[in-house]
Structure 1
Amino acid sequence: MQPIDFDSWPRKQHFELFKNFTQPYFNVCVQLNAQTLFDYCKAQNISFFQAYVYCTLKACFAYEPIMLRIIESKPWLLTSIRASVVELDEDECFVFSYFDYLGSFKEFSANSDKVSKQSKSNSLFSDAFANTEGQADLIHISVLPWLNFSAFSHAFSEGQSLGIPKFVFGQYDKQAGTMPLSVDVHHSLMDGLHVARFVKVLQAECDHFKCK
């Protein structure tokens, strides 16, 4: 991580305005065009789920505002990123799998297969949870493949926030070629304009994804 020069940062006043809000996150729900990505994954016999998680990590790494975090009440810029992904175990209870952003999808997929298998064999409060959850270099990803939603809200607790973005992917509509995406970001770090630009970056990653 590297610190932001706070005194010269254009968002200094916006940061101060929102950082102490009880609920400083705002939510935007969009329809992501996922047909190109879905069709490619089906043709290549690779995981659609892993592909859009990878695209999300890659898009985050490419778009600076979503790499911002709040550390000791000041803005910092991440230089690496990981995903805390909600998955279901055999009992249909969720666990967290921690996926590293790696240079190629093949590396990412192989590592994610191992991580998923291990996570699903452990309890929610695993060693990985204790060692990883709550760290600043994460993004949070949930998946609701059973619902084509148009709005979403998260459970939250009061207290200091690191400004970690939260993404929720919904059910892929094969007829329309779209899937809902919920994006929650900290208002001290981003505005609606930044979310719109990020979604554009993510859409481009999905449209041009290649397994290599």
Structure 2
Amino acid sequence: MSSSPVSMQPIDFDSWPRKQHFELFKHFSQPYFNVCVQLNAKALYNYCKAHQLSFFQAYTYATLKACHAYPPIMLRIINDKPWLLSNTRASVVELAADDSFRFSYFSDKANFTEFAVHASAVSFNAKSQPLFSDAFAQTEGQADLIHISVLPWLNFSAFSHAFSEGKCLGIPKFVFGQLNKQQQTMPLAIDVHHSLMDGLHVAKFINILQDTFDNFCKD
């Protein structure tokens, strides 16, 4: 990753209220914590079904919108100090035809129509490439990402990620599970770096994400 992050600004560390919390958690061997919740997907799913839209693309777009609306989840760790993103992209795990996964890199767009065209093209290209593609080499490991995985086969109530020993950037990780079509809920597991966020921040973000789901049709 470049040592000169694009579209970021440093946090004034000495005046930052989380300075001591940041120092407390940044050297933990596993500094992430996980929360698993059930999202109400009724409004979003029904809108997508009625208008023949991709539900997957819709909740990915909504997640990017919610992230841009909540500064704490836009924080990253660069050179052992906190930075605030101006924009974020989604590194999304998708299945190729052989049931192995690929990474698709989705940028935020002004509206869902534009995003859907962009996401469809990116997905098609990613699934036709090997895992270690040019896009992977150019994008994975950069700080201005969120990580999104999808497990549409499982209605889980807990989740844990694989973690490397590499340098931690504080990238949040989202896993969406199987939609319960009767209750119209879906599980979401979210992992965040404890140097950057606490449980209160996760709760506030989830409220924003739920509101984005509920008001998707007003975009």
* TM-score category, normalised to shorter length: over 0.9
Over the matched positions of the two proteins, sequence identity in percent amounts to 72
Whichever residue aligns with residue 40 of structure 1, its letter is Y
1:94 aligned residue (73, 76, 101) = 101
Matches within 5 A, 1:144-163: 144-163=151-170
Distance across 2 between alignment mates of 1:198 and 1:167: 12
Structure 2: gaps spanning 5 or more residues: 1-7
- Deviation of 1:211 after TM superposition, in Å, equals 7.3
1:144-185 alpha-carbon deviations (Å, 9 max, x no partner): 000000000000112320000000000000111100000000
Q: CA deviation at 1:30?
A: 0.1
Q: For the Cα contact (< 8 Å) 1:167–1:184, is it kept in 2? A: yes
Displacement, 1:96? 0.1
Match 1:2 to one of 6, 9, 13: 9
Aligned partners of 2:165 and 2:203: how far apart in 1?
27
Q: TM-score, normalised by structure 1?
A: 0.99
- Deviation above 2 Å: which 4+ runs of structure 1? none
1:21 matches 2:44: no
Contact map agreement 1:106 1:211 (CA 8 A) in 2: no
Q: TM-score, normalised by structure 2?
A: 0.96
Q: Distance in 2 between matches of 1:103 and 1:198?
A: 21
Are the aligned partners of 1:23 and 1:158 in contact in 2 as well (CA < 8 Å)? no
Aligned to 1:113: 120
- Which of 61, 73, 79 is equivalent to 1:54? 61
State the AA in 2 paired with 1:31: Q
d(CA) in 1 for partners of 2:166 and 2:43?
A: 41
Aligned residues: 212
SS at match of 2:141: coil
8 Å contact kept, 1:172–1:180: yes
2:33 and 2:132 mapped to 1: Cα distance?
A: 28
Q: Secondary structure at the match of 1:103?
A: coil
In structure 2, the residue matched to 1:164 is: 171
**1:24-103 superposed matches below 5 A:** 24-103=31-110
CA contact (8 A) 1:105 1:211 kept: no
Contact 1:25 1:187 in 2 (8 A): yes
Q: Distance in 1 between matches of 2:81 and 2:143?
A: 13
The residue type paired with residue 148 of structure 1 is N
Aligned to 1:26, what secondary structure does the other structure show?
A: strand
Of residues 204, 213, 216 in structure 2, which corresponds to 1:206?
213
Contact 1:145 1:172 in 2 (8 A): yes
**Cα deviation code 1:71-124 (max 9, x no counterpart):** 000000000110000000000000000000111111111000000000000000
Instruction: Tell which deviates more after alignment, 124-133 or 151-160.
Output: 151-160
The one-letter code sitting in structure 1 at the alignment partner of 2:116 is S
5+ residue gaps in structure 1?
A: none
* Cα displacement (A) at 1:70: 0.2
Q: Cα RMSD between the aligned structures? A: 0.8
SS in 1 for 2:160: coil
DSSP-derived class of the 2:35 partner: strand
- Decide whether the 8 Å contact of 1:6 with 1:74 is kept in 2: yes
CA distance in 2, matches of 1:114, 1:171: 24
Aligned partner (choices 168, 180, 186) of residue 179 of structure 1: 186
